Amino acid sequence: MKKISWPILVGVTLLVGCQNAEPKEETKPSTLQMEEKAPTKTKMNKPFPYPNLLAESEQSFSLLVIGDQDTPIENNKEITEKVNDILSLPELVMAQTAYPELNIKTEPAYILFDQAAVVFQGKNLKELTIYLEQK
């Protein structure tokens, strides 16, 4: 009995000692935890204040038109090829009241949005058309 009990006792001791030598899975920092601790160099941007004006997909734009009532912009094929959503407001005062953070100063105004923010703001339809052709 003594011959068997010593090897069993030594084996159990080694087994318990080996299990405690490595940290448990829970205590190892995961890659995600290490990334969270790493300092980020990008500045934190606050979310865009008017998400309803943003484009819905990466392949298109959204457009806010202020004051241009001579010709409907929806009939301009150069614009509608790249722009899916168009919102037209007849007066500058309406736009300034509805969207004060856009700082709209002149009428007419054409403000183009991608999925995150304003990408173009101008007062000339030709400038907008040129910008869209480049995209």
Q: Is residue 21 part of a domain?
A: yes
Same domain, 71 and 116: yes
Say which DSSP state 17 is in: H
Same domain, 78 and 114: yes
Same domain, 70 and 130: yes
pTM: 0.64
Average pLDDT for the chain? 80
How sure is the predictor about 74, in pLDDT bands with cuts at 50, 70 and 90? confident
Same domain, 109 and 82: yes
Same domain, 63 and 105: yes
Instruction: Show contacts of 43-48: CB within 8 Å, 24+ apart.
Output: 48/116, 48/117
Q: What range does the domain containing 18 cover? A: 2-37
Same domain, 55 and 107: yes
Q: Is residue 44 part of a domain?
A: no
Same domain, 30 and 57: no
- The contacts of residue 69 (CB under 8 Å, 6+ apart) are 88, 90
Share of the chain above pLDDT 90, in %: 48
Higher pLDDT, 42 or 24: 24
Same domain, 118 and 68: yes
Q: Structurally, how many domains does the chain consist of?
A: 2
Q: Is residue 42 part of a domain?
A: no
Same domain, 19 and 55: no
